[in-house]
């Protein structure tokens, strides 16, 4: 049918350019790319060797002439050209897979709320250089709320807590805008660092980042568990430099990440305390909504609920909420103009 043919030619994109994971949504197909934000480069030639999962596997294992780089830091671009190359490679992958036949799609990209003009323009330019025809930006908490199917444009208060890799973003949303927000560095990557530091100081064990991440996912928790979990951490002995294996329990990991968990809980509480009364009444009725990979930490919703006295729920598939929200925005661009971010001095 001709209708379908035209559909194939009009694939615009929603992109979540995350510190840890980049996801791409295309109209009609849903999420077509879900990949670590990692690029492996040959330093001598400047050539890209691998992108995404393949590059992530190289982290901490590269010889001196290869560098596995994460081009985003705390939600914003820290290495412009590498980000651009990463985006271009994802977009090329879509045309190679015949998913996106349109050569220059329009895109909606999420940016952390509170980014600077320079940071906004960097995202816009990277996407444009990577092949986008028109770039719209959306604040990530709004995208997450859209992805969670909250009535973002209603005169109703919603609280979204997006615990990602680089940052935790706390936001109160009403009428398509952000009323209050807080951004913290206490998030997934910080918890991995907590585990690395704990292992070094308390267990005399040097750990790699990927091991720390694995241990966090296998045994991490915000509250004591009914069924204890045990796992082994493999690394190197601080003292003699030899390989070493230590059996740890959820309690060790909980102690290691406790400061970051505490920081998140305190910031959510303080945001609740600053929320205007009418909005807090809405939030008490609708609950606090969690998104981002960090929201999967065991016991975190329960702890937040206990500390705020407000119901807390994790949105379905929290790792994809932002990109699904970007997808909704690109599919309904006309109705979404008000909630998209303005880019100053935009001459195009
Ligand atoms: P970003 O938007 O910064 O790219 P994501 O929302 O994709 O981040 O979440 C990635 C973070 O979520 C990582 O730090 C990862 O360790 C963490 N994460 C993923 N799954 C879990 C889990 N089951 N428990 C705890 N943390 C998790
Ligand atoms: Mg994110």
The CATH number linked to 169 is 3.30.420.40
Residue 223 has pLDDT above 70, yes or no: yes
Whether residue 124 sits in one domain with residue 39: yes
What is the Å distance from ligand 2's center to 45 Cα?
31
Listed residue (297, 344, 337, 303) closest to 318, CA to CA: 297
Within-domain flag for 348: no
Within-domain flag for 1: no
Whether residue 238 sits in one domain with residue 116: no
Whether residue 331 sits in one domain with residue 182: no
What is the Å distance from ligand 1's center to 217 Cα?
9
Q: What is the largest CA-CA distance in the chain?
A: 70
Whether residue 174 sits in one domain with residue 199: no
**Residue stretches of the annotated binding site for ATP:** 165-167, 213-216, 293-296
Q: What pLDDT does 39 receive?
A: 96
Whether residue 301 sits in one domain with residue 241: no
Within-domain flag for 165: yes
Q: What is the dihedral of CA 231, 262, 165, 159, to 10 degrees?
A: 130
Whether residue 158 sits in one domain with residue 280: yes
**Half-sphere exposure at residue 159, Cβ-oriented, CA atoms within 13 angstroms:** 34
Within-domain flag for 205: yes
Whether residue 239 sits in one domain with residue 212: yes
User: What is the domain extent for residue 305?
Assistant: 150-186+262-318
Within-domain flag for 7: no
Mutating to test ligand 1, I would choose from 34, 294, 321 the residue with most ligand atoms within 8 A of its C-beta, which is 294
Q: E-strand spans in 18-133?
A: 21-26, 30-36, 39-42, 48-51, 66-69, 72-73, 76-77, 106-111
CATH number of the CATH domain containing 218: 3.90.640.10
Whether residue 302 sits in one domain with residue 227: no
Mutating to test ligand 1, I would choose from 18, 20, 56 the residue with most ligand atoms within 8 A of its C-beta, which is 20
Q: How far apart are CA 170 and CA 12, in angstroms?
A: 29
Whether residue 129 sits in one domain with residue 247: no
Lowest mean pLDDT among 75-89, 246-260, 310-324: 75-89
State pLDDT tens for residues 104-145: 899 999 999 989 999 999 999 999 999 999 999 999 999 999
Whether residue 300 sits in one domain with residue 283: yes
Please give the tally of structural domains in the chain.
3
Whether residue 57 sits in one domain with residue 90: yes
Whether residue 280 sits in one domain with residue 181: yes
Within-domain flag for 84: yes
Within-domain flag for 38: yes
DSSP character at residue 61: -
Residue 344, Cβ neighbours under 10 Å: how many? 7
CB of 112 shorter than 6 A to ligand 1: no
CB of 216 shorter than 6 A to ligand 1: yes
Average pLDDT, the chain: 93
Q: How far apart are CA 269 and CA 307, in angstroms?
A: 7
The tokens of 116 are what?
Answer: 């600077």
Q: What pLDDT does 344 receive?
A: 67
Q: What pLDDT does 275 receive?
A: 97
| Residue 348 pLDDT level (bands cut at 50, 70, 90) | very low
- Sheet containing strand 288-291, edge to edge, reads 177-184, 168-174, 158-163, 288-291, 312-314
What is the Å distance from ligand 1's center to 212 Cα?
13
């Amino acid at each position: 049918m001709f209708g379908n043919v035209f559909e194939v030619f009009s694939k615009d994109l929603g992109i979540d350019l995350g510190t840890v994971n980049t996801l791409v949504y295309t109209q009609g197909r849903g999420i077509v790319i879900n990949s670590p934000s990692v690029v492996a480069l040959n330093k001598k030639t400047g050539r890209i060797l691998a992108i995404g999962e393949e590059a992530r596997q190289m982290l901490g294992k590269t010889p001196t002439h290869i560098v596995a780089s994460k081009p985003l830091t705390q939600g914003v671009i820290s290495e412009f050209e590498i980000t651009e190359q990463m985006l271009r490679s994802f977009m090329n992958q879509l045309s190679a897979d015949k998913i996106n036949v349109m050569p220059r799609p329009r895109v909606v990209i999420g940016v952390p709320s509170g980014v600077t003009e320079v940071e906004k323009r960097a995202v816009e330019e990277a996407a444009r250089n990577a092949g986008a025809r028109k770039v719209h930006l959306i604040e990530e908490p709004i995208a997450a709320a859209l992805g969670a199917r909250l009535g973002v444009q209603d005169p109703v208060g919603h609280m979204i807590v997006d615990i990602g890799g680089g940052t935790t973003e706390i936001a109160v949303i009403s009428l398509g805008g952000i009323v209050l927000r807080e951004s913290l560095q206490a998030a997934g990557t910080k918890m991995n660092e907590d585990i690395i530091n704990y292992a070094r100081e308390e267990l005399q064990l040097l750990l790699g980042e990927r091991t720390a991440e694995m241990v966090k996912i296998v045994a991490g928790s915000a509250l004591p568990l009914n069924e204890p979990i045990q796992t082994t951490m493999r690394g190197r002995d601080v003292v003699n430099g030899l390989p070493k294996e230590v059996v740890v329990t959820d309690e060790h990991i909980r102690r290691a990440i406790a400061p970051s968990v505490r920081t998140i809980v305190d910031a959510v509480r303080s945001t609740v305390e600053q929320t205007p009364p009418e909005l807090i009444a809405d939030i008490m009725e609708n609950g606090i909504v969690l998104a981002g990979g960090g929201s999967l930490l065991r016991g975190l919703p329960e702890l937040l609920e206990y500390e705020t006295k407000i119901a807390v729920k994790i949105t379905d598939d929290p790792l994809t909420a932002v990109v699904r929200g970007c997808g909704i925005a690109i599919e309904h661009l006309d109705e979404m103009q008000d909630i998209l971010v303005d880019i100053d001095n935009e001459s195009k």
